[in-house]
Amino acid sequence: MNPILHIQDLTKTYQSTDHTLTVLDNINFSVEEGSTISIIGPSGSGKTTLLGLCAGLDRSSSGIVELNGIRLDTLSEDARAQVRNQYVGFIFQNFQLLPTLTALENVMVPLELRGEKNIKPQALELLDKVGLAERAHHYPTQLSGGEQQRVSLARAFSNKPKILFTDEPTGNLDAETSEKVVKLIFDLNREAGTTLVLVTHDAELAAKTQRILRVKGGKLVSDERTGVAV
Ligand code: ADP
């Protein structure tokens, strides 16, 4: 096994004036490169926090987070951002598009950060892939939820991520758009070998991945293979 993500004794706590809240408690798992995995569990169980730590958006209180052989838990915010730009795609439930930029410009940002040339045609091609070429010059507020989600997907793809983290990727979408988005995500795994880590409450979507981790009260309570072929 060749893990792209290795999590060891991971703990995340938040400190308030009178007590310590343990949100993640001694989590251990590894994710094989090119595989697909879901993280499920009740609301408030720590799924989003776990995803953010795995993707280097946030830092653990203790424990190891190793992504593509790089220890994220010991890196500064800036160094983690560099690792993210290089290897990671992230799709949030609330899209997090930059509101002052058009769809096209939002997709161009990661390409620019990577120092790529000829970024406009590349970004247009990505928007075309998600069926939004004709919306390239629209601003996020001029797009529907499903369209914003697809821009967010094109932006994540533009990073040519080795690993894609998605937080409830279909949470706000109607059934038809949700199906399209899921197909695009799994195509990326099949065609480019991108590892997928999905946080979802959708059992049907989780069953499409090769492995399901269940989190409850900040603990990893089960880790099962679904039987989906590698
Ligand atoms: P889930 O994604 O499973 O719904 P979250 O990871 O969003 O769960 O949250 C897990 C717990 O951590 C919740 O109780 C939440 O209130 C708490 N939490 C998340 N972020 C913070 C924060 N910045 N400060 C304090 N508590 C937080």
Give the model confidence (pLDDT) of 144-197 as tens digits. 888 898 899 899 888 789 999 999 888 777 888 888 889 989 999 998 999 999
Q: Does residue 55 lie within any of the structural domains?
A: yes
Its pTM stands at 0.90
Does 48 contact ligand 1 (Cβ within 6 A)?
yes
Q: How confident is the model at residue 16, as a pLDDT?
A: 86
Q: Does residue 230 lie within any of the structural domains?
A: no
For the residues 42-62, what does the mean pLDDT come to? 94
For the residues 46-55, what does the mean pLDDT come to? 95
CATH code of the domain containing 120 = 3.40.50.300
Q: Does residue 68 lie within any of the structural domains?
A: yes
Backbone phi, psi, residue 95, to 5°: 70, -50
As for how many domains the chain has, the answer is: 1
Q: How confident is the model at residue 95, as a pLDDT?
A: 66
Q: Does residue 52 lie within any of the structural domains?
A: yes
> Alpha carbon of 9 to those of 24, 156, 169: distances in Å?
10, 29, 27
Count CA within 13 A, CB hemisphere, residue 56: 27
Q: Does residue 33 lie within any of the structural domains?
A: yes
Do 31 and 3 contact (CB within 8 A), yes or no?
A: yes
Q: How far apart are CA 13 and CA 99, in angstroms?
A: 32
Which residue among 16, 23, 166 is best mutated to probe the pocket of ligand 1, counting the most ligand atoms within 8 A of its Cβ? 23
For the residues 115-130, what does the mean pLDDT come to? 91
Range of the domain at 42: 5-225
Q: Does residue 181 lie within any of the structural domains?
A: yes
Does 53 contact ligand 1 (Cβ within 6 A)?
no
Q: What is the pLDDT of residues 53-77, one digit of tens each?
A: 999 999 999 999 999 999 999 999 9
Percentage of the chain modeled with pLDDT above 70:
98
